[in-house]
Amino acid sequence: MARLNEENLERARRLVAVYPEPRSALIPLCHLAQAQDGWLTPEAMEDIAGLVGVTPAEVHGTATFYDMLHTEPVGRHVVAVCTNIACMLAGAYELLEHAEDRLGVSVGQTTGDGEFTLEEAECLAGCDAAPCVQVNHRFVGPLDPDGFDELVEDLRSGARADEVPRHGILCRVERTVGLLATDPTGEAERHGDPAAGGTAP
Ligand code: FES
């Protein structure tokens, strides 16, 4: 199972350093680990715990609170179909049923080839495109059953690779400006030592 790789460990240390309290970086580090592997492996959660000074159980407890963080492996494409009121009225349950038939899985399951995980979602804030569907957190709706089949073919063939990133990735643009710690240990920033790169309180 994957631990944070060297590059991400370095990024993680720098992320921790921009917060007054290391544990405030817990969620950003979870997203970093998820961008690496698509889900939060137990080993990555141990790394995060060590970096922010909490227990692995606390990392797991926090991660399981949030729908966008996965503590179990998911498919290369996480397909979320909203069934909240606006989407329900626009045929979301029929679409979800079609998706289950088309993919051969029930909600919450992953196809045998590891390509698709199907999720039922609450309002995704895309009610104007009901029934709303997201793949790897990118909007792809509104879809009817034929549109869904087309989407599946496109995703399998890679035709939407420019539009839909790898699973686990939230942001494709890495921060290179703004909040950056000059001291990756964070000590200078936390103690306001301007000589060491920190900002005096
Ligand atoms: S009700 Fe489906 S996106 Fe809002």
92 CA to centre of ligand 1 in angstroms: 9
For 69, other C-beta atoms within 10 Å of its C-beta total 19
Ligand 1: atom nearest CA of 83 is 2
Which SS3 state, helix, strand or coil, does residue 4 take?
A: coil
Pocket test for ligand 1, best of 96, 120, 127 (most atoms within 8 A of CB): 127
Pocket lining: 84 vs ligand 1, CB cutoff 6 Å? yes
Continuous segment of H or E residues that includes residue 82: strand 77-82
Position 190 confidence tier, pLDDT thresholds 50, 70, 90: low
DSSP 110: B
Pocket lining: 38 vs ligand 1, CB cutoff 6 Å? no
- 128-137 pLDDT, tens per residue? 999 999 999 9
Q: Enumerate domains of the chain plus CATH numbers.
A: 6-71+171-196 (1.10.10.1590), 77-157 (3.40.30.10)
Give the residues across from 151 on adjacent strands: none
91 CA to centre of ligand 1 in angstroms: 12
Q: Which residue has the tokens 């990392």?
A: 59
Q: What is the per-residue pLDDT for 149? A: 97
Ligand 1: atom nearest CA of 87 is 2
pTM over 0.85: no
CA distances from 110 to 21, 51, 118, 149 (A): 37, 31, 7, 17
Position 27 confidence tier, pLDDT thresholds 50, 70, 90: very high
CA distances from 27 to 16, 155, 171, 176 (A): 11, 29, 14, 19
- 92-106 pLDDT, tens per residue? 999 999 999 999 999
Question: Do the strands 116-121 and 133-135 form a parallel or antiparallel pair, or are they unpaired?
Answer: unpaired
120 CA to centre of ligand 1 in angstroms: 11
23 CA to centre of ligand 1 in angstroms: 33
138 CA to centre of ligand 1 in angstroms: 14
